[in-house]
Structure 1
Amino acid sequence: MRDFAGLFAALDETNKTNEKVSILKDYFTSVSDSEKIHTLALFTGRKPKRQINSTLVKQWAMEMANIPQWLFEESYQVVGDLGETIALLLPETKGSHEKDLAEWIAEINSLGSLTEEERKVWLVESWGSMTRQERFVFNKILTGSFRIGVSQSLIIKALAEISGLEAATLTHRIMGNWSPDTFSFHDLIQEQDPSDDLSRPYPFCLAYAIQETSDKQKSAGEIEAELGDPEEWQAEWKWDGIRAQAIHREGKIFIWSRGEELATEKFPELHAFLYELPSGTVLDGEAICFIDGHPMPFNVLQTRIGRKNLSKKILADNPMAFIAYDCLEFAGDDIRSMPLAHRRSMLERLYDLSNHKEIFRLSPVVKFSTWEDLYNLRLQSRENFAEGFMLKRLNSIYQTGRKRGDWWKWKVDPLSVDAVMIYAQKGHGRRADLYTDYTFAVWDGDKLVPFAKAYSGLTDKEIKQVDYFIKRNTLEKFGPVRTVKPELVFEIGFEGINKSSRHKSGVALRFPRILRWRQDKKIEDADTIDVLRAMLGD
């Protein structure tokens, strides 16, 4: 754990890409293969199962630190992170254990067979054998809250440089359903891929946004200047579902989400078309609810996500379809290096042979002659149940991850309203001492009704200014939440809006975020609930 805790601290102390890669390389070349693969598992979201709930962890920490609950809770609100709070409050030790990361994770995984009292003894003894930094990282792993500010691409870059393998090869090998108990570091870096895992998906090809720094979209002329001849491009609607790969290999089917979640059983309606596909087929597309001949908003799909049991009513009310827009594997051959035009022809061939076209749908290619034509069509995105366009160069290969140049997403301008901030809460991590999570309200008659929460969109300078205002204009405290004097107005952007019986406002927003701080407006200039209701389109 000592080496891993040191890695965590070193990565947290720099925001320079090359330094992070160098730190990762030094670490991977100095620890055992077992620690390497467990580190990779953690960094790619494969955390051990939580064996002790947070309530018990807090209770035992208070007992070991000999402090009352009120003091612990006050400290927690200031620090903003449970693992760090406990690490700071426990009596400091020099650390005496010799276990590495792999050994600690093995012990965590074995806790399920212990009684509650045995788990307590183990945890207290474990804390007593660690330094403060080791405890902090250990607590993050134990409570299932482990995250680190380093992208998977940097980890792959470091591993590629020390192994001599291509980054794309390593990225593909760590996709899918593996664990450090069954997949070794040797398996990862040997020349020939030994895996016979039929379920393994390919790394997703991701698109850059046409406009990333502002919600003000570019004109058709600016698009033409940047992308060139429209005849070199294919345009498709950008659907608002779950990005997924649909796989059929040797009589077995698999559906993987972009987040590397195996979701085969969550979408039983898709099984029929998948079994019908020829063996050795992998499609990229969107799993989406499809009713009355058109895709439904994402909130309809949300009624299914996270449910362990899909009732007949849910399946009937929210039927699924798969909108396919790429073919990655055909007849068992990886065709990602073929140009898009060729892959599209393979996809169309599979679609023509399908007997399940109500489930297996082909993402239509949008015809256009000029960028001005496409710009005008883009304004009709919401009427077509889409978020905008995907633009793909016809000769582009299917790349690994996000590469600038060949795939772009050209989304419509967000919907927006001007709203008043009424509640605030402190953030987490480096912003744990700043109020960064806000609740916004609009007018309903002479009352302000909360309708959305947002925490992104402001600059660091603006966050500090807003934090200064909140700390001097707090009206009430409810645990970590502060009621704030209604004075600040912000423009809130969002991708979609739907009715909601669970919210006091009666509406739920899709991806709300702060577009700008309207320092030019007073609270009476904020929008009303009627403006939001009008956006529902009823």
Structure 2
Amino acid sequence: MKDFAALVTALDQTTRTNLKVAEMADYFRTAPDDDRLWAVALLSGRRPRRSITTNKLRLWAAEAAGIALWLFETCYPVVGDLSETIALILPAPTHRIETSLSGWIADLRALDGADDAARRAFVLRAWDGLPPVERFVFNKLITGGWRMGVSQKLMTRALAAATGIDQAELTHRLMGDWSPDNTDWAGLITGHDPAASLSRPYPFALAHQLDLAPEDLGERDHWLAEDKWDGIRGQLIKRGGDYYLWSRGEELMTDRFPEVAAIAAALPDGTVIDGEVLAWDHATGRPLGFAKLQPRIGRKTVPKRLLAEAPALIMAYDLLEWQGDDLRARPFDARRALLAGLLRDLPETVPLRLSPAIAVHDWAGLAAMRAKARDRGAEGLMLKRCAAPYHAGRRRGDIWKWKLDPLTIDAVMIYAQAGSGRRATLYTDFTFAVRDGAALVPFTKAYSGLTDAEFREITTWVRAHTTDRFGPVRAVRPELVFEIAFEGIQASPRHKSGVALRFPRMLRWRRDKPVAEVASLDDLKAMLAQFG
């Protein structure tokens, strides 16, 4: 634990990428196998499940520090991190506990069947045997709230430096449904397990938003354009007589989409397809929208009603593996030609389609097609270089998303709440309303899009214009107007306004606009009728 805590400290104290890589590589070279396996898991977002609630940790920490709970709660937003707050307020340890990172995780898991008294006793003993930095890490193991300023890509780069294994190969090995419970260091990193690789997806190729004129990309014929569909990005894998559907977030979705069985039955072994899972209206040949697909995402089993209301289809983008051969190094147009041949003779009843190429041979015509993307149920266009390989992660130059400008509406802020982490002392989370006659109707929340300076200014204003309090939430005078941007709108009976926005954020603070000029509920409903 001491060495891992030192690594966490080193990562927190530098913004230099090369130094972060060097610190992680040193740890991976020297740590015991179980510890470095858990370090890889934690740094790639695989957190141990929470074994103790944060409310109990707050109470126990206040008691151990000999302070009132209200004083602890006052300190917490100033520090901005629960684990750090606890580590700082506790008295100095009276003894030293030498337990490894994996040992602490095993001990915490052993508490699953214990009562509160046993859990409290264990936590208090741990706090009393660890110095502040190790207490901080121990608390993070309980709460699962890791933010170490390290991407998985950076961690994989360090792992490659420590092991001598190619970074691209390591990126592939770290994909899929693994955890320290079902593998070991040799099986995941240094060895080769053919059985495990059968279900493993490839790292996804991701796109940057187009931030230059499309004409600057060169000849139009060097690029394939297709619609940017609004669904769940996924990889469909058929290997070893079995099939798997993985999301971009490395979540296995096979059971949530039983339609995949018919697709897999029509594909030969050794096939991996990259595509988009969509809720599809087979009568009109159009997507039903993400709102129809969303109820299926969080379910492990899908009732017949949802299967009927939102039948799933996979819109295929790319062929990554064919007849067991990895095709990713081949040019995109060659992979797409193979994909088109594979799908050409599939029966219409198989819910798998090739994402259509947009056959417009000049940039101006393509811009006109982009402007009409919402009419086709798309968010804009994707531009893919025909000669490009399928790379891992986000790389500029080969794949671009040319999204439509967001929808926008002006609204007034009516509630404010403090943020977390470094913004714990600022009011950053706001609720917005539109007019409904003389009343104001809340319709969305947003917490991003403004600068730190603007958040500081708004925080001062909120403190001076609070009209009521509801726990951490402050009601404020309805005076500040903001332009809210969002990607989509859908009907929602759970919301008072009757609508819900997709990816809302604050585009700008409209200092020039009075509350009387904010949008109305009728404006929202008109947008719902047009774009919902």
Normalised by the shorter chain, which TM-score bucket? Answer: over 0.9
Once the two structures are TM-superposed, the CA of residue 248 in structure 1 deviates from its matched residue by: 0.8
Q: Alignment partner of 2:441: what SS?
A: strand
- Written as runs of structure 1 = structure 2, the 5 A alignment for 1:221-370 is 222-225=213-216, 227-291=217-281, 292=283, 293-355=285-347, 357-370=349-362
Aligned mates of 1:356, 1:111 — CA distance in 2: 53
Deviations 1:498-538 (A, max 9, x none): 11111111110000011112222222222222211110126
Deviates more, 1:393-402 or 1:352-361: 352-361
The whole-number CA distance in structure 2 between the counterparts of 1:18 and 1:116 is 44
Contact kept? 2:434, 2:520, Cα under 8 Å: yes
Shift of 1:357: 4.6
Name the SS of the counterpart of 2:383 in structure 1.
Answer: strand
Whole-Å separation in 2 of the counterparts to 1:479 and 1:229: 58
| Aligned equivalents of 1:94, 1:187: Cα separation in 2 | 40
Contact 1:280–1:331, Cα closer than 8 Å, also in 2? yes
SS of residue in 2 equivalent to 1:343: helix
C-alpha separation between the residues in 2 aligned to 1:451 and 1:354? 44
1:481 to 461, 473, 476: 473
The partner residue of 1:418 within 402, 407, 410 is: 410
* Structure 1 pair 356–83 and aligned structure 2 pair: CA distance change class (3 A): farther
Of stretches 323-332 and 141-150 in structure 1, the one that deviates more from structure 2 is: 141-150
Superimposed CA distance per residue, residues 127-186 of structure 1 (whole angstroms, 9 cap, x where no aligned partner): 221222222222222123233321111111111122222211110011112122443333
In structure 2, the partner of 1:37 is 37
> The residue matched to 2:347 in structure 1 has which SS?
coil
Cα shift readout 1:27-65 (whole Å, capped 9, x = no counterpart): 333422322111000111211122223343334334333
TM superposition score normalised by structure 2: 0.94
Cα distance in 2 between the residues matched to 1:47 and 1:265? 23
Structure 2: which amino acid aligns with 1:297? Answer: G
- What amino acid sits opposite 1:223 in the alignment? P
Is 354-363 or 412-421 further displaced after alignment?
Answer: 354-363
Shift in CA distance, 526/54, structure 1 to aligned 2, threshold 3 Å: same
Q: Structure 1 residues 318 and 189, CA, compared in 2 at 3 Å: closer, same or farther? A: closer
Contact 2:173–2:189 (Cα < 8 Å) also in 1: no
Q: Does 1:490 align with 2:489?
A: no
**Corresponding pairs, count:** 527
Distance in 2, matches of 1:404 and 1:237, equals 19
Residue in 2 that maps onto 1:517: 509
Query: Structure 1 stretch 461-470 or stretch 489-498: which is displaced more?
Result: 461-470
- Aligned equivalents of 1:176, 1:235: Cα separation in 2: 29
**Matched residue, 1:450:** 442
Q: Distance in 1 between matches of 2:307 and 2:71?
A: 49
Alignment match, 1:194: 193
- TM-score w.r.t. the length of structure 1 is 0.93
Distance 1:142 1:356, change over 3 A: farther
Q: Which moved more, 1:336-345 or 1:461-470?
A: 461-470
- Measure the CA separation in 2 of the matches of 1:388 and 1:135: 48
CA shift for structure 1 position 109:
2.2
Which amino acid is the alignment partner of residue 144 of structure 1? G
1:535 match: 527
Alpha-carbon shift at residue 448 of structure 1 (Å): 2.1
Counterpart Cα distance in 2 of 1:95 and 1:239: 58
Q: Distance in 2 between matches of 1:494 and 1:95?
A: 54
Over the matched positions of the two proteins, sequence identity in percent amounts to 50
The CA deviation string for residues 417-464 of structure 1, in whole angstroms up to 9 with x for no partner, is 111122111111111111111111121112222111111111222222
Over residues 256-292 of structure 1, what are the superposed CA-to-partner deviations in whole Å (9 max), with x where a residue is unaligned? 1100111111111222111321011111001111123
Q: Distance in 2 between matches of 1:268 and 1:400?
A: 28
Change (3 A) 1:416 1:24: same
- Structure 2: which amino acid aligns with 1:488? L
Q: Structure 1 residues 413, 245: CA separation in 2 closer, same or farther (over 3 Å shift)?
A: same
Cα distance in 1, alignment partners of residues 95 and 415 from structure 2: 42
Kindly provide the amino acid, as one letter, of the partner of residue 125 in structure 2.
Answer: E
Deviation at 1:80, TM superposition (A): 4.2
How far residue 189 of structure 1 moved from its aligned partner, in angstroms, is 4.3
Q: Kindly indicate whether the alpha-carbon contact (under 8 Å) linking 1:378 and 1:389 is maintained by their aligned counterparts in 2.
A: yes
**8 Å contact from structure 1 (residues 494, 513) kept in 2:** yes
Separation in structure 1 between the aligned mates of residue 377 and residue 136 of structure 2, nearest angstrom: 46
Match of 1:342, as an amino acid? A
Q: Give the C-alpha shift of residue 362 in structure 1.
A: 1.4
- The residue number in structure 1 matching 2:146 is 146
Counterpart residue number, 1:404: 396
